[in-house]
Amino acid sequence: MNYAKALLAISAAVQLGACSTYGSIPTERVGSATLAFGNGLPAGTVQLLSDGETVTMGVAATGLEPGAHGFHLHTTGKCESPGFQSAGGHLNPAGREHGSENPAGKHLGDLPNLVANDAGRATAQYDLPGSASSVLEDIFDADGTAVVIHAGPDDYRSDPAGDAGSRVACGVIKAAG
């Protein structure tokens, strides 16, 4: 099982490095989360990296149904199974609506869909909107932040959650030590 986690972490790091120019490669690991399904089985890892100006999130997930899955930051750093409702709603410190296609959206918790291949694996990277200091302040607030993968795709417009279905995997973001 440690081998699988190491492979996922390497996959995320390769993904991050492959999509960045030399001058913008994130150099500091500022946080991470281990994702798990409701039954406790591992689902992947999330890494938060920063270059001092922006925060980049890399994710490597496995065991998903093939296809698109809503992927969001949630307001509370709790992942109680089986349904992960303890994670609260989407992280929305500015009080905006949901979705990149919503004229009044999007908020910090909105992320593009995570797309799993036929083997159920997905890797992606996302630059979180805002300055590194404000993003990290919002993520590492008093009650923490969770990362959630949903059963279905986010439609990028339905408020408050994108109609992405049930929560199938969750992880609490912890600051790098």
Tell me what pLDDT residue 19 has: 46
Average pLDDT over residues 78-104: 82
Average pLDDT over residues 68-82: 94
* Average predicted confidence (pLDDT) for the chain: 84
Please tell me the distance from the alpha carbon of residue 152 to that of residue 68, in angstroms, as a whole number.
6
In terms of residue numbers, what domain contains 169? 2-175
Query: What's 128's domain CATH number?
Result: 2.60.40.200
Give per-residue pLDDT as tens, 100-141.
777 776 767 789 999 999 999 999 999 998 999 999 999 999
Q: How many domains does the chain have?
A: 1
Tell me what pLDDT residue 153 has: 94
C-alpha dihedral, 115 to 51 to 88 to 150, nearest 10°: 0
Give per-residue pLDDT as tens, 44-72.
999 999 999 999 999 999 999 999 999 99
Tell me what pLDDT residue 25 has: 61
Residue where the block lists tokens 């909107």: 129
Cβ(53)–Cβ(131) under 8 Å?
Answer: yes
Q: What does DSSP assign to residue 161?
A: T
Q: Which residue has the higher pLDDT, 124 or 99?
A: 124
Phi, psi (degrees; rounded to nearest 5) at 45: -135, 155
Q: Which two tokens stand for residue 87?
A: 């994670």
pLDDT at 175 over 90: yes
pLDDT at 6 over 50: no
Calculate what percentage of the chain has a pLDDT beyond 90: 63
Give per-residue pLDDT as tens, 8-27.
444 444 444 444 444 556 67
Which of 9-18, 83-92, 144-153 has the least mean pLDDT? 9-18
Tell me what pLDDT residue 48 has: 97
Q: What does DSSP assign to residue 27?
A: -
